[in-house]
Amino acid sequence: MTIVISAERLNIIYNHAESIYPEECCGILLGIIAGISKTVSEVIPTINDWQRTVSDEVDRNKNSRYTINPSDIFTAQKRARDLQLDIIGFFHSHPDYPAIPSTCDRSQAWETYSYPIISVINGKVSEIKSWVLDSDGIFQLEQIQITIYQ
């Protein structure tokens, strides 16, 4: 699989990640799926709605976890429908950590979607990698193709 995104849309993600640091940023990607390629048409930054629960075994916070509010996903679904697009992925950042999926990322992921992860080191974007979950529940690296036009 390949995810195609314009430099302009990628900058929206990068700016969101840097502005939210040291917390994890998150957001939704709308676009078109054609064969083995997904093209991002719109980036929707969202608020990290993570709330620690009493059942958490480890004290986690927004610096190491994220949640997108279901109402934000519902709004994105309506926008995608209106634009004749699909939700094609969900992005988030890893503050001061590599752009590789965590165990928590895997437990919350679904097949088909792209999961770009942005590593932000000391407040600056360091790298981005995109992942897709295969049918065995294992993340596979997805190629990112950056275009100069929308």
| Cα separation, 101 vs 140, whole angstroms | 10
| Residue 64 CA: distances (Å) to CA of 49, 52, 83, 93 | 12, 11, 33, 9
pLDDT tens by residue, 105-115: 998 999 999 99
Q: Which two tokens stand for residue 114?
A: 């792209």
Mean pLDDT, the chain, integer: 93
Q: How many domains does the chain have?
A: 1
Would you give the DSSP letter of residue 52? -
The CATH number of the domain holding residue 12 is: 3.40.140.10
> Which residue segment(s) compose the domain that 72 sits in?
2-147
| 108 touches 90 (CB < 8 A) | no
pLDDT tens by residue, 26-63: 999 999 999 999 999 999 999 999 875 545 555 677 78
Is the pTM here over 0.95, yes or no? no
| 88 touches 31 (CB < 8 A) | yes
Bridge partner list, 117: 92, 129
